[in-house]
Amino acid sequence: MTEVHQERELIDRARNGSVDAFEGLMRLHQDRLYRFLVVRGMSPSDAEDVVQEAFLSAFRYLGSYKTRWRFSTWLYTIARRIASRLPQPADPEVIPEMPDEPERHVAELQQRGALWGMARTVLSGEQFSALWLFYGEDFDVAEISRVLDRSRSWVKVNLHRARNRLAEALEDDDWGRSMSDEPIRT
Amino acid sequence: MNRSELERQLRSEAQAMDLRCPDTPRQRVMRTLRQEADGTPVRGWWSRWRPLAATAAMLLVVVAVLQYGPEPAGEAPPVVTQAPAQPALELPSVSGDLIDRAMAEREASLEAELQRIQADLRRIKSLVKNV
């Protein structure tokens, strides 16, 4: 059974009230959602809270989920709205503190890629999110537009700007040289 | 680095960032959902009933103090065994003439008021016609 079919079956069962099926859904999506929140700059403890709240909301409003969207699109939309209610870090370069589990936090930070680390410092929060959803989560423009609550044009334009900004930063960093302006996959 | 290289690098680095979500959120979510499904209060029965129990306890204390509390210091008031005799309440007699006269006066004043209102109405009507 493919992951899509498995997911659909779990959604159907969870809609009928199966908590076990919903746990299956959570196991499928929790790591990617958590990673999305942490790479955006959220502290691991805040990310855990948002994951928890997002899944609780998802279960309660599962009846309103429309299957024309991927479940992850819907889930990320919920999570982004919950995350937007948290206080945002003033400076994207500031590493969020995690005094209770510093070793794990450092290990996670070391695992982050250098290019994404640079993207976090040179892009706005929403541009970074759009870029991550596009390349990290393989979302298309329509899905990113839904998650970020922006128009498709905004997503296309900002993906383009984000790539250019990143390329400029790489040139400054003596790493990249040039980028072509290929059309964006939609 | 051209665009395709950049895209490839972004994808490969994203895949390399293998962050695992701890079990805590899933465990909390499942515990909450299972408790809700079982009809068990999520916050525990005591937290739900505590305000009511506190109010009831306070009322009991108040009743107990009123009922069995210490008597006020000083000499106890004399026990009254028989209520003192009260003079009978006498209503002043009203004659039928007085009532009739009052009703007639009231009727006359209402009649006068009605005529005044009717006169006002006629005046308003004539004004409206002139307009």
pLDDT in tens, B106-117: 999 999 999 999
Q: How far apart are CA A102 and CA A113, in angstroms?
A: 19
Q: Confirm or reject contact between B31 and chain A (CB < 8 A).
A: no
**Which residue type sits at A19?**
V
A51/B82 Cα distance (integer angstroms): 78
Helix axes A141-148, A152-172, angle to 10 degrees: 100
Contacts of B5 in chain A (CB under 8 A): 176
Query: Does pLDDT of A13 surpass 70?
Result: yes
Phi, psi (5° rounding) for residue A54?
A: -65, -45
pLDDT band at A1 (very low <50, low <70, confident <90, very high): low
pLDDT score at B86: 63
CB contact under 8 A, A135 and B26: no
- Mean pLDDT within B83-104: 71
Query: What is the pTM assigned to this prediction?
Result: 0.61
pLDDT of A9 higher than 70: yes
Among A90, A64, A93, smallest CA distance to A77 is for A64
Give the C-alpha separation, B111 to B65, whole Å.
Answer: 64
Task: Calculate what percentage of chain A has a pLDDT beyond 90.
Answer: 55
Least CB-CB distance to B14: which of A23, A49, A136? A136
CA–CA dist A145, A68 (Å, integer):
15
- Is B42 at the interface with chain A, CB within 8 A? no
| Interface membership of B38 toward A (CB under 8 Å) | no
A32: number of CA atoms within 13 Å, CB side?
18
In chain A, what residues touch B7 (CB-CB under 8 Å)? 135
Distance from CA of residue B47 to its chain's centroid? 23
Q: Which of A19, A51, A114 sits opposite B30 (nearest CB)?
A: A19
Q: What six digits make up the tokens of A8?
A: 């659909």
ipTM higher than 0.90? Answer: no
pLDDT tens track for B54-70: 888 888 888 888 877 76
